[in-house]
Structure 1
């Protein structure tokens, strides 16, 4: 009898978890008030989606009855409506921190995932927190969740005696679906109970399968709806007041418009006319002692929203558009630059993106930057002249991404930069593939890229990579190899630092898929990497690393790891000269990480690290400490202190030719130096309500490199004392940035932003080690700039305007 009962239990479990869930959507004629009360008659008669199943941490476990979730779906000719009731046996414990859009903080969450084509390729996800804060994103298995995508929809969350409710209205213009009379959409519902750190979904998402979007349920019953005209206008107006010590205060007005147009069911055109990025987040600049440029995050909304297609193949670095000028002005004796720009102005930009029901994704991006000059002065005669530092430039990206079998893709990417007249042009073409077995257990991935540079000397180069991985189960692994030619150069519209090498790498890892008595999550990673210079065959990199990451049942996170570099390697980049290298000694890096449960009012992050090199006195150590305190559901402050010191660091400082004989090697000078870095960051948020927030972001940074001894780089890569070199090449860079902003979403898709910003930075060769002097001196000198700005953007939906005028007629 017991065996029979056990068999019945296994059979029922298999039936529950293997059958695709379905929900019936109900058509309505009555109006629905989005107030979270769910008191209209239509809600009472709608079908119910319930029996949620845990996604994390205990994948596959049924939700408790006292926390059951019930969801209903209605629709009419304009929108789809979702009503959700989240029961809770302790409703007073529902967490409800008020935060900014797309950032839920410490709050319970409800979400709905919709795939209008039901093809398992892409979800449109909409979230509402218990504090009535919205979030939305586009989800693909390859790129994960892209929260830069923003739609315009309505929602309301309210707390009740039984838990909390959510009511959502999603206009069809925010979705993508076909024009068929009868439709079946892919759908899933999500709930996170924050105090327990538990996530549930209506349709089981089996974590062993390695896919997310293919495990939706079905939404049936949608009939006779038509995709609307997707045409949106977002006009804006901005005012800027600029002030700096010793400079004239001036104000400027800007105005422009963003346009979004749905070309058809699948494709959307986005365009910006007279762009304004004045309120974008500032860049966190550092003292860059290395051979490569600092890479910055993209903070401009147009280049972050819905750009998952353009990230294919890792060939597009959007900061190139409107970045620093590409041409250095030619100066003769007694000339100096008296006026230049840090960034080239963007004239306009547009992108077309989308995916057909057959899985073909198409992305087209075009941007034009203006012709830019520097003003140069003759210091003797006083005459000035202008020289082009960036010609009129056109940037293009084309992506064709064909998905098949719901989990695999082949992608063609092309980036092109064309500069007016006889300046440098660039073209890069790549083919990328990600092939997965039907059960998502194994993956074959890679790409091949070809670059062509048209300049005073034409150059071509290639980059190829191929890898294989097991992608499901407790034990997983991957292996791969790269080959990069010397002249591969995608840097006009991409970013790539290393060339002229080939490598081999591998990874093996183990993870638990369900919690144990001690851990909610547990993962061990082991990596090996070896890299050789393609021409000389010398070892450029060689490392073995392992790391452990876990979270306890009390939701505290711990991590630790090490990386061993067991052999000397040859760095061909730090000398800044062709075919020269410096030998890097063996070393070992150790790190740790602690992050306590953010559900508590007080939490802290601590990240120490230390490194030992096989060279007397050469080591590095540092720590990041980040306490945070949530004073209430409205007020949160986070502070981070970072310190890092490198003792006896060896780095490039200068080079020169010994004489006019080209056969004579260039003299390359390094320094034995100590490098100190300090930074303090403070961020704060005060939410007046779910639509209004005050935000504070302050960053103070100081880093200096003090040279103790000059060293000459020998032809064999060793470093020898060079007492003849006496030039001061110490470096000290310090900066200050502070933003205080107010944001008000006064209507769906419409926002008022008020920003006060002050910032300053300075680079010196003289090092003042008094921390107070560096900070106060920076804040009190002429370099401190003040900007006050107000920006208003208003969302206009063509359908809403058409309906209003239609009713009046």
Structure 2
């Protein structure tokens, strides 16, 4: 199979290279703007009756990009551009022969709902990055920082600018006013910027563009037209200061005898955010005592495999410009920088005696943080982040006597990122450096005292950016007490104590670890219908990133290959489609061949804009080093996996997606069945509602429970689990106007697991499940009155070992109701009501009964928060 894939890749590379030679270059469009004389700037009201617009001509002749590339669009568009000393002005005319059908959907900023048009400006003219400003027919703003030549649109960027729209008998019009201070450009007599204008004709889901970009090209920003005529404009340095104040009131069920849980708390807090333009290209962001109370709660999740759960960053300070600091060096979520480590939950625990109570803060206080970032006109991307978190103490009460115990030390985090474009912006090289330093005191010697990582990355593209090779390397070094380094060696990510591993060993005297990781990929990303990618990555056993990065598992070597065919031209039946074939394999540093799998994926977007996607995976070989938590390498049975999802037209006011996922292993070793239903309804322009359901059954005959000693030999105890999980996510958004909205998020989450047929590992690598495990007989296992299982394995009427009943029922509810008012551009008021409850139900209850008893029938924690900010532009 692998030989066949290699042959296919070689053939596709050959034929696609030949096809590329015949593609004719697309002529570049140029728009020449003119300056506004005197005080005649247009008033931004959405109508185009200002005299200033007569200074320049319309640019039109848009061409369709999706679905039928290089054809006339159903409705034409045109635009004009003017400027003065401080602002760029844009006028749009979007024709529509049926103006009563224009979708004027109100939404919050960056929701991109309904008919819309955007100007995208590559003011660096680096042909890789750009600034996008979108106006909808309802006058809602959308703004994004574009990077990776159009492969990444980051809507966390929130500049200050102005826009308005208006509907008339010819369609709709819009105006935009963009301060030069929100763009980045160098000094020059005449600025030459990359320019693109793109419109979405919503009811047909048709996208048209001013500058044609063929669908088979790998780039987007690199293919822009040009904006000329910007004469003697001066770069504008930003200086914005945004203080805030927060009032918070918490209520919760009182706990008898606990002085820290008397039923309510009140807090008053304040802080400051600032944005300072050091140069026109580089910006310094500062935050002092930041508050993220308006941020949506994390979704419910439970992981029986013991690994940490990755949650996406939602805090505004860290989200903005996050693309500059990203360094995904392997696959999945592995990253040298994971900002959720800053301000994390305290890692220590107070030592409590009987009758004592503790008040442990939920998060570590961020005393201050600074972020210096941007990109210079000559191709340097720069990011430097410095953050300090303070000591966190748990307050302990012992019959009225109070003491404090340190649970998180004073910590400094530093992240530096650098990239340089060259070769006419077709290539870059870069690097990253991170440092975590803790001032350890008290009982916190189990933490690393210091952690450092460094990395180098590169990407080179050629033949009109259709082919590329990219790679990176990472090295890490952590230091600490023997206790801290021993804890790292034995953690689930490393497991140096594995009983069958000869290439690693636990050394309790070590005070440091140094490891490496990296990847190398080669592929074809444009030109014709074929795409491919092949490469590999590694993570050495000693690699450790989890002080300020994210690493799920070390000691891993992977190889992968993917081949894809794209249907770029629509037919009577479909708008677009793709087929993907993949193969991957995995090894560890001892040379064990741990996994091979073969994948097929397909996607179809039909002519009526409905869609279907599906795929299948065959895994004939599955070995994992982590299942037995330090025991021998474990084998799973051969697995076959498939999924199928189908959905209606997402442009309709009601749309839905249904999905089914099924995975089955031979001998019923394990299985997974998941049902998904996602719905979205917008009954009128100002209101949208989404409701998502997921139900999952995940039984396994060999779910790990614990390890016990039997006659001097480790005994790995497993059980047959019946795990069922249900979650519902409800969201609604009501927009009173583009600057005032009400949003709600709520999610009940229930996961229940019950165990039967307890067994122990007999031969972890056996192919036959019946040889791999041995079931306890009825005479070997009994249950005590305190729900403890007693094991008499050698049947001598003496208990050899015991373990607790592993049955569980985890129940969680999280919700946020937020009223957001941007009363002037950049200044906001948030009114927040958050509710939550987390607990453990009766595993014998059904999911429905757990929902009723543990969520609907419980008193919940409530948080009421009022936050006000004011943005001073100096």
Q: TM-score, normalised by structure 1?
A: 0.92
Task: Tell me how far 1:612 sits from its aligned partner.
Answer: 1.2
In 1, Cα distance between the equivalents of 2:688 and 2:544? 45
Task: Tell me how far 1:649 sits from its aligned partner.
Answer: 4.7
**1:553 alignment partner, one of 603, 607, 632:** 607
Q: Quickly say closer, same or farther: Cα 1:493–1:162, change in 2 above 3 A.
A: same
Q: Give the 3-state SS of the residue equivalent to 1:312 in structure 2.
A: coil
**1:101 alignment partner, one of 103, 109, 125:** 109
2:579 maps to: 524
In 2, Cα distance between the equivalents of 1:27 and 1:427? 51
Task: Tell me how far 1:767 sits from its aligned partner.
Answer: 3.8
2:15 maps to: none
- Return 734-743 or 129-138, whichever deviates more: 734-743
Is the aligned partner of 1:719 residue 2:740?
A: no
Q: Quickly say closer, same or farther: Cα 1:267–1:587, change in 2 above 3 A.
A: same
In 2, Cα distance between the equivalents of 1:347 and 1:89? 57
1:50 maps to: 60
- Return 151-160 or 402-411, whichever deviates more: 402-411
In 1, Cα distance between the equivalents of 2:354 and 2:831? 45
Q: Do the aligned residues in 2 keep the contact of 1:337 with 1:374 (CA within 8 Å)?
A: no
Alignment of 1:90-489 (within 5 A): 90-105=98-113, 107-141=114-148, 144-246=152-254, 247-313=262-328, 314-327=335-348, 331=351, 338-375=358-395, 386-404=404-422, 405-421=424-440, 424=448, 425-456=450-481, 457-472=511-526, 473-489=528-544
In 1, Cα distance between the equivalents of 2:594 and 2:810? 30
Task: Tell me how far 1:765 sits from its aligned partner.
Answer: 6.6
Is the aligned partner of 1:615 residue 2:667?
A: yes
Q: Do the aligned residues in 2 keep the contact of 1:272 with 1:348 (CA within 8 Å)?
A: yes
2:8 maps to: none
Q: Give the 3-state SS of the residue equivalent to 2:668 in structure 1.
A: coil
Q: Give the 3-state SS of the residue equivalent to 2:698 in structure 1.
A: strand
In 2, Cα distance between the equivalents of 1:739 and 1:119? 41
Q: Do the aligned residues in 1 keep the contact of 2:728 with 2:748 (CA within 8 Å)?
A: yes
Regions of 4+ moved over 6 Å: 332-337, 381-384
In 2, Cα distance between the equivalents of 1:387 and 1:188? 58
1:10 maps to: none
Q: Do the aligned residues in 1 keep the contact of 2:460 with 2:468 (CA within 8 Å)?
A: yes
Q: Do the aligned residues in 1 keep the contact of 2:60 with 2:77 (CA within 8 Å)?
A: yes
Task: Tell me how far 1:770 sits from its aligned partner.
Answer: 5.7
Task: Tell me how far 1:41 sits from its aligned partner.
Answer: 1.2
Deviations 1:730-784 (A, max 9, x none): 11101112222211121111112111111111135744226235334334435x1
Q: Do the aligned residues in 2 keep the contact of 1:461 with 1:486 (CA within 8 Å)?
A: yes
> Can you give the 5+ residue segments of structure 2 that lack an aligned partner in the other structure?
1-21, 255-261, 329-334, 482-510, 766-771, 782-790, 792-801
Deviations 1:374-433 (A, max 9, x none): 35678xx99775432211000110001111222322110111110014751110111111
Q: Do the aligned residues in 2 keep the contact of 1:335 with 1:376 (CA within 8 Å)?
A: no
1:689 maps to: 737
In 2, Cα distance between the equivalents of 1:403 and 1:767? 60
Q: Give the 3-state SS of the residue equivalent to 2:326 in structure 1.
A: helix
Q: Give the 3-state SS of the residue equivalent to 1:460 in structure 2.
A: strand
Task: Tell me how far 1:479 sits from its aligned partner.
Answer: 0.8
Is the aligned partner of 1:709 residue 2:719?
A: no
Q: Do the aligned residues in 1 keep the contact of 2:706 with 2:803 (CA within 8 Å)?
A: no
Q: Do the aligned residues in 2 keep the contact of 1:649 with 1:675 (CA within 8 Å)?
A: no
Task: Tell me how far 1:682 sits from its aligned partner.
Answer: 1.4
Q: Do the aligned residues in 2 keep the contact of 1:23 with 1:48 (CA within 8 Å)?
A: no
In 2, Cα distance between the equivalents of 1:355 and 1:229? 14
Task: Tell me how far 1:162 sits from its aligned partner.
Answer: 0.4
> Can you give the 5+ residue segments of structure 1 that lack an aligned partner in the other structure?
1-12, 799-809
In 2, Cα distance between the equivalents of 1:172 and 1:367? 30
Task: Tell me how far 1:658 sits from its aligned partner.
Answer: 4.7
Deviations 1:657-705 (A, max 9, x none): 457xxxx443322221110001112111222122221212111110011
Task: Tell me how far 1:714 sits from its aligned partner.
Answer: 3.6
Is the aligned partner of 1:797 residue 2:873?
A: yes
**1:72 alignment partner, one of 63, 80, 105:** 80
Deviations 1:423-450 (A, max 9, x none): 5111011111121114111111111110
Task: Tell me how far 1:727 sits from its aligned partner.
Answer: 2.3
**2:628 alignment partner, one of 569, 575, 592:** 575
Q: Give the 3-state SS of the residue equivalent to 2:80 in structure 1.
A: strand
2:567 maps to: 512
Task: Tell me how far 1:562 sits from its aligned partner.
Answer: 0.6
Q: Give the 3-state SS of the residue equivalent to 1:44 in structure 2.
A: helix
Q: Do the aligned residues in 2 keep the contact of 1:127 with 1:135 (CA within 8 Å)?
A: yes
Deviations 1:99-151 (A, max 9, x none): 1100022x011100112222212100000111111000110126510001110
- Alignment coverage as a number of residue pairs: 771
In 2, Cα distance between the equivalents of 1:555 and 1:750? 39
Q: Quickly say closer, same or farther: Cα 1:779–1:345, change in 2 above 3 A.
A: farther
Task: Tell me how far 1:335 sits from its aligned partner.
Answer: 9.5
Q: Quickly say closer, same or farther: Cα 1:110–1:399, change in 2 above 3 A.
A: same
- Return 71-80 or 320-329, whichever deviates more: 320-329
Deviations 1:449-502 (A, max 9, x none): 101010122101111211110111211111111222111111111111121121
1:806 maps to: none
In 1, Cα distance between the equivalents of 2:820 and 2:116? 22
Task: Tell me how far 1:787 sits from its aligned partner.
Answer: 1.0
In 1, Cα distance between the equivalents of 2:367 and 2:187? 37
In 2, Cα distance between the equivalents of 1:97 and 1:530? 47
Q: Give the 3-state SS of the residue equivalent to 1:207 in structure 2.
A: coil
Is the aligned partner of 1:603 residue 2:611?
A: no
Q: Do the aligned residues in 2 keep the contact of 1:590 with 1:611 (CA within 8 Å)?
A: yes
Deviations 1:602-653 (A, max 9, x none): 2111011111110137422120112222211112221111110022353222
Task: Tell me how far 1:368 sits from its aligned partner.
Answer: 0.8
In 1, Cα distance between the equivalents of 2:521 and 2:347? 35
Q: Do the aligned residues in 1 keep the contact of 2:522 with 2:535 (CA within 8 Å)?
A: yes
Q: Quickly say closer, same or farther: Cα 1:176–1:653, change in 2 above 3 A.
A: same
Q: Give the 3-state SS of the residue equivalent to 1:92 in structure 2.
A: helix
In 2, Cα distance between the equivalents of 1:632 and 1:395? 47
Deviations 1:256-295 (A, max 9, x none): 2110011002100001112001111101121221120111
Q: Do the aligned residues in 2 keep the contact of 1:25 with 1:73 (CA within 8 Å)?
A: yes
1:788 maps to: 864
2:72 maps to: 62
1:4 maps to: none
**In angstroms, what is the RMSD of aligned CA positions?**
2.1
Q: Give the 3-state SS of the residue equivalent to 1:295 in structure 2.
A: coil
